[in-house]
Structure 1
Amino acid sequence: MSATTTSSVPENIFSQRRRIIASVLVLIAALCFSAKAVLVKLAYRYEIDSISLLTLRMVFSLPFFLAIAIWAKNRAVKENRHIILSRREWFYIFILGLSGYYLASMLDFIGLAYITAGLERLILFLYPTMVLGMNVLFFKKTVTRVQWIALALTYGGVALALLDRTQLGVGSNVPLGAILIFFSGFTYAIYLVGSGQYIAKVGSLRYTCLAMIAASIGVIAQHGIIYQWDLWHYPLQVYTLSIIMAIFSTVLPTFMMSEAIRIIGSGNVAIIGSIGPVVTIILGYFLLGESFGIWQLLGTILVIIGVLRISLK
């Protein structure tokens, strides 16, 4: 999944060189996010459960988010723009963090035990359509004709991908995996819809750190209750993959996306980031030996077109 979405920024504020750099950052971040599913599937080969793997990811990424949160607070205090949050605001940020990065990640990691990395990324890519639905339901926004067409394209594309025969032999329960991944995207959409007012108040950098810290606390606490933090008996390859996942598929791309959205706007980020599902399919093919058929490719194209129409709108 990608970083928190904010409103578009007029391009003429920044120089062409900075906009080019921001575009490269989005491309790198999309590649990093796409590799996450592949890293999870590689780690599963060493017989680690989803909760322990997710906990290792959070354990290795938590120090970075703590350090950046402290740095962002000190900078804000120095520049006399530090915002003090109320207990209620802390509570809501904690809940949103649990939704966007704890529950969503948990469902994602469990779902990957049943479906291919390529199909996982394709279903997760639906989250902008869920954001649209929540805006209609809770904020009474209207759906345009173009958006209805885009919705039909996206969900029709996922249906085509699920009908692909190459998906039938990848796990014991492909429909269950698809449902888990869908609700992973749904909980992330809840996080995005609820985050707007807090991002505007404290800034995307500090808010993202606080949300990730909340999610890390939830994951680590759950592992303690279930497994008593028995994390250090796995092969070295598991820790190597977890560290790579924490740094290159969590910390770095999160802030790359945030900075790019600030410079070139969320619409342009959506265009470049649409490469994600295709990259995951390619990585899954070469690194995991996953197969894909014509229906999955057609479905992927439809989903990307539909999501782009909604995101750019």
Structure 2
Amino acid sequence: MAALGSIGFSGKAIIVKLAYRYGVDAVTLIMYRMLFALPLFVSMAWWAGRGKPALSARDWVGVVGLGFCGYYLASMLDFMGLQYITASLERLILYLTPTVVMLLGWALRGQRITARHALAAVVSYAGALLVFGRELRLEGSPAIALGAALVLGSTISYALYLFYSGEYVRRIGALRLVGLATSVACVCCIVQFGLLRPLAAAQVALPVIWLSVLNATVCTAVPVLLVMMGVERLGAPLAAQIGMVGPLSTIMMSVLILDEPFTPWLAAGTVVVVLGIWMFSRAGR
């Protein structure tokens, strides 16, 4: 379950890149993804909240804030970044999330960073910079730097969600929180589209619709459930290590489906990033 969920998440970038070939923009594309995912997430929140007390006003404020930061803003920045960089580089940058959470703990709560954690973070970022530097050199375009910056912003936004969600998970429950927060993000994306692109919905190619349905189900809602069920059976540490299959599956799909080049630099950078995250997951033991 953990492996399939990670592979499902990793397919999101592939579908987004395919949809961009039909001339759709990020605002429209993310709206369709969230529109089709909204009923699934509302159902998830309802199922997880059966028989439990209603949320307090404070809890609702937290849910809205987490949904805006962790799913709306993070998704929007990610979709925008994928207009400029490869799916492989995008996945490697997103995979740095645990190190960003660690840095937030140090900066905002004064949590100590051990030497082993610091070394693991350095290794992870070295791998991502290796791939980024190679793409920047090959393309020679400032757009590569812009895309990487947008995806890094997405990583930071989602890391903030993880950093602040702990207390709400304890009070509300993980599945209920995810269902509610993602529902908030869906509404934000739909409202944003209504304000910025009110006439664009009928102008997209039919394949964009089907790709968005696939993105909303196979690459969004279903992976959420699979990963959570995997964590329930394995525990978070082991499930996180199994999740390392994510970058590898993204690269494989980007080569086979998108015809993105597979270079020694990409292979080396991926190995270094995965090694760094593996070291990070082991550093606290």
Residue from 4, 21, 41 that aligns with 2:17: 41
2:103 is paired with a residue whose SS is: helix
Task: Specify the alignment match of 1:188 in structure 2.
Answer: 158
In the aligned structure 1, how far is the partner of 2:239 from the partner of 2:224? 13
In the aligned structure 2, how far is the partner of 1:171 from the partner of 1:83? 53
Q: By how many angstroms is 1:229 displaced?
A: 5.9
RMSD: 1.6
The number of equivalent residue pairs is: 283
For 2:267, give the aligned amino acid: L
In the aligned structure 1, how far is the partner of 2:199 from the partner of 2:166? 34
Inter-CA distance 293–166: structure 2 relative to 1 (3 Å threshold)? farther
Deviations along 1:35-66, one digit per CA (max 9) or x if unpaired, are: 11000000000000001000000000000111
Which 4+ runs in 1 deviate beyond 4 A?
none
In the aligned structure 2, how far is the partner of 1:276 from the partner of 1:101? 19
Point out where structure 1 has 5 or more consecutive residues left out of the alignment: 1-24
Say if 1:38 and 1:288, in contact at 8 Å, map to a contact too. Answer: yes
In the aligned structure 2, how far is the partner of 1:50 from the partner of 1:105? 10
Q: By how many angstroms is 1:171 displaced?
A: 7.0
Say if 2:2 and 2:229, in contact at 8 Å, map to a contact too. Answer: no
Q: By how many angstroms is 1:200 displaced?
A: 0.8
For 2:197, give the aligned amino acid: Y
Say if 1:136 and 1:143, in contact at 8 Å, map to a contact too. Answer: yes
In the aligned structure 2, how far is the partner of 1:172 from the partner of 1:43? 23
Task: Specify the alignment match of 1:63 in structure 2.
Answer: 39
Residue from 186, 209, 233 that aligns with 1:216: 186
Q: By how many angstroms is 1:136 displaced?
A: 1.4
Task: Specify the alignment match of 1:307 in structure 2.
Answer: 277
For 1:58, give the aligned amino acid: M
Point out where structure 2 has 5 or more consecutive residues left out of the alignment: none
Q: By how many angstroms is 1:222 displaced?
A: 0.7
Could you state the TM-score of these two structures normalised by the residue count of structure 1? 0.87
Inter-CA distance 182–166: structure 2 relative to 1 (3 Å threshold)? closer
Could you state the TM-score of these two structures normalised by the residue count of structure 2? 0.95
Q: By how many angstroms is 1:274 displaced?
A: 0.5
For 1:292, give the aligned amino acid: F
Say if 2:136 and 2:144, in contact at 8 Å, map to a contact too. Answer: no
Asked if 1:159 corresponds to 2:129, the answer is: yes
Task: Specify the alignment match of 1:54 in structure 2.
Answer: 30
Task: Specify the alignment match of 2:229 in structure 1.
Answer: 259
In the aligned structure 2, how far is the partner of 1:236 from the partner of 1:223? 18
In the aligned structure 1, how far is the partner of 2:161 from the partner of 2:36? 23
In the aligned structure 2, how far is the partner of 1:171 from the partner of 1:216? 33
Task: Specify the alignment match of 1:121 in structure 2.
Answer: 91
Task: Specify the alignment match of 1:146 in structure 2.
Answer: 116
Q: Which moved more, 1:92-101 or 1:289-298?
A: 289-298
Say if 1:270 and 1:308, in contact at 8 Å, map to a contact too. Answer: no
Task: Specify the alignment match of 1:295 in structure 2.
Answer: 265
In the aligned structure 2, how far is the partner of 1:122 from the partner of 1:176? 16
In the aligned structure 2, how far is the partner of 1:117 from the partner of 1:170? 18
